[in-house]
Structure 1
């Protein structure tokens, strides 16, 4: 054994000792106890997996470490045991886990080199090369979702455009340059972090973005950027979980494979960035908790954070290098104005120039807006600008002690210079919850045609009151958003504000409803009220366009549902939550699904809308089923069923029974599941609903298979398939093909089973239904193995595992058992 290989084994044994030590100090919980605690915490561990990792039989992955540590800490808390502080902190485990992985990677590299050398010797001697261990895949799924290949290298280039008239900041730029040299000396498992802090408008983002462009060639694997909106006065800050989703997608991880939980996303993010030289720019952070999950933990990367706060914890714990940015000195403020307006103009009015520089208090944002106004109005003398600036009162007067007030004053100049249409549009943007605004959204706010709204947005961009961060998508600087919110509250009557909000919500509701029906046209319809006059509704022509719309508006839809709930637009609120349910479910965003359905329940309850409550309870139950929370799923399904029964809604009751059947199946109660499916069939039949009837027939067939009645299963499922083809329900045809495949598999008719599974897979991919694609791939692998084809079986199981692991789904453990050579389950 080589020295490196020995070190890898020693490191694995050492890490297992650390895990066993934690378990012992936590009160020595049994494996079954750890399984129960981890399941209750939403990060279920299998007993066999814990045993495997504690005995150092295989390297533990990061999600396992997180779940195991949290379970031990929870047990210690229950037992009244006090653990050493370091053992309860994930950064302690993170550093040690990275050390283990790096040693293991070194051993893998040596193995590959040795195998290559042996292969060369074998070829020279005419013999066969010796067998070697296959190279492990790069962490993360392939973007195509096909096979067990490595993750394609995607190089993100997310930096926004740099400020064209950036001046000064020489000391700060030199300090940032010095980070590049120090980065090479970082310890394994750590990342160089720089914190740029300072008051609002002082130019933190301009400095960070400008330097990042200069240093981009030092980070050949890409640059990631996000505005964390930490000080957005009118909307929520960006959640680390959501940012991680966006970063992972930018790095090549398909949206459907991004894990549901924040810890799992953070672990995958660190894995994808291992060995890559990436610059991460986290702009406008509110606190340390918003930043920590976004730190890569790799010395090849560099993180630059900007914040108005000092974030002392980031400096103390993570060792961030602080860089405090002061207002520009007078010389650099003059230079900024000179670059924008020309030296001659400033020299012609030196006294006015000095008054402007003094009044702007060295804030680059204020100076840029003043220069912008002077540039577009060359006939306007600087003396007049200085008089307006220094002569204003109240909100329109600079206060040297309050930088936020200074910026508002400068904003007021740009605002007053707008035409009436653009000024009203800017005010109404203060009602939009963000994080960004589309053209139809502004058109709906102002009640104007889309083309006119596009021209208005362009005017606001030219006035430096808005920026177009993506094509046709616009963002307000957080202070500008706060200023717009103040203006709309001051100048727009309450009734006008409410009408504008109503049009905005209607725009998302009616466009989203059309998009949802394109994704799944067999859903039981809802009846939104007609859109208010002046609402802009986007026309979507096909499923691909619908999916793109949902993807582009994903974050906005969540904030709009929250806004509608808070503003007491209760019926549109629960209907909009219903509209996004299919998209969130297929995406695997089940935690978000839970959140919006909670809002839907609140909104529907306030207006005593029993249909809305019934739908929200059932949709919430579906998310609970996906996440393995069977108790809450039962609670919400029973409430839904009672509401549907009280309404006399046979179809709604039938759908609740179908879900109760799925819940019973998950709990291994197949007879009970069959009874629920039969009740659903009777209700659908009485309601003359052929689509529902077909779905119930398939479920009955599936449960017969679970009970061993495979001939009956084929009969029911064949009847279901005929009906589904008649009504054109391709989504449920996929379910039925999977059920038929399973029945033929159990009857040892593997060729027919494989044909059925392939039909199902084609339909799942058409529907972008990742979870059920994994289920069918698992079944396909089982049939291949039963047919004596272990190679295709393992390929199918690996493809299924690549889908389930990022989703954090407990079914992944069964696939690992298959791939380790464990026995197939009976059903």
Structure 2
């Protein structure tokens, strides 16, 4: 057996992805040199220069033996990326393998594409000790999972801070306790991260991590995304597996990661609907009920004196909008302020509410959703929050945003899919209290005062003109006795028929009063 064959028999092709330091990367290069038959530094230098000359590189920039040899030494503070890649190509010219080295160099040098940096786990995060409520949601999800040996995917959607991840993790722990799985895989897909340096995770990088956790040697992991998906599914065939894909950005990000093999359960959480993936059930998680919110607070911050207001707990839950994130942050504040009663905390929240202030953690959670919106949807969200009523229709939103009705309706529908507005009935939309405060605060930060005044003026003109037209339709004989109202620059619903006029006035009565006030 030749020396080259002997070396290949005892040395595995090194995986650069396992390197975490420059020394470990240099050690990988030394292993690669052995794997390739231990060519001399002169031979490696000649191969590199032959390739460089073929690309037109001038003689003054060709590699020298000493600089090639330095790449293999430990203790280096930096590496010449181009030269290291050239060394790898000279030892093993496979395109995909060279790409692995380039990515490893970027990671270690701090130049990696952030989307390729993703942490996968073969265990679930810890269950929440004080998990409360969600009995109905858990029951529905568990029913969906009773589908025999088929692959089952359930998608949990909802607004920021509503507790999607907690619910999915709690459900996963329940399932594991009932019937252990051969494999458990968890990943945070970073679908909505405030830091632009933390974009949504690349599905290929996620699959690379999953395959490694499943025991696939690095050199056997395909480079093509479709091939990685196929390898992932093949590896799970015949095994009972729980896969939790948390905080997904979109269906496109999820599609390559779905373990389409019998016996697998896939739990997905996202702030967006992923109905196009046809999950067994798509559950939209709402805020807590009043009872669940109080139960959560009692478990999270026990033995706190109530104080003079016996209804302080209910007042706290209401001021938190029954939002699990806000309740959790408040529970932490309660635990860190000994000597305060629940009445003291409720009074503090009342004061913050009067000042239209949100806790920092709640604002940051909403920021992540807001910053992923296109600018025109951000604008509709901000200006719609200026509406003084309990709900609004696309015509009012169009007046506030100075746009056409179709654009306003489309934006509201998209905001609904992001769970930033909620349906309040056919063609009507409303805000969760805390999101309404957040969006109005955004409007004051991002839109100059004159723009906000103009938006509110357009809204008032819209309601005035539509109400005048509706009343003229219902009481035409008195039309001449009322002041003429000019038609506004934005459209309003057709109210030329008595039934339509009456229906519009009935639907908008509360809003007309609020606008007048």
The two structures have a TM-score, normalised by structure 1, of 0.28
Which structure has the highest helix share of the two?
1
The two structures have a TM-score, normalised by structure 2, of 0.44
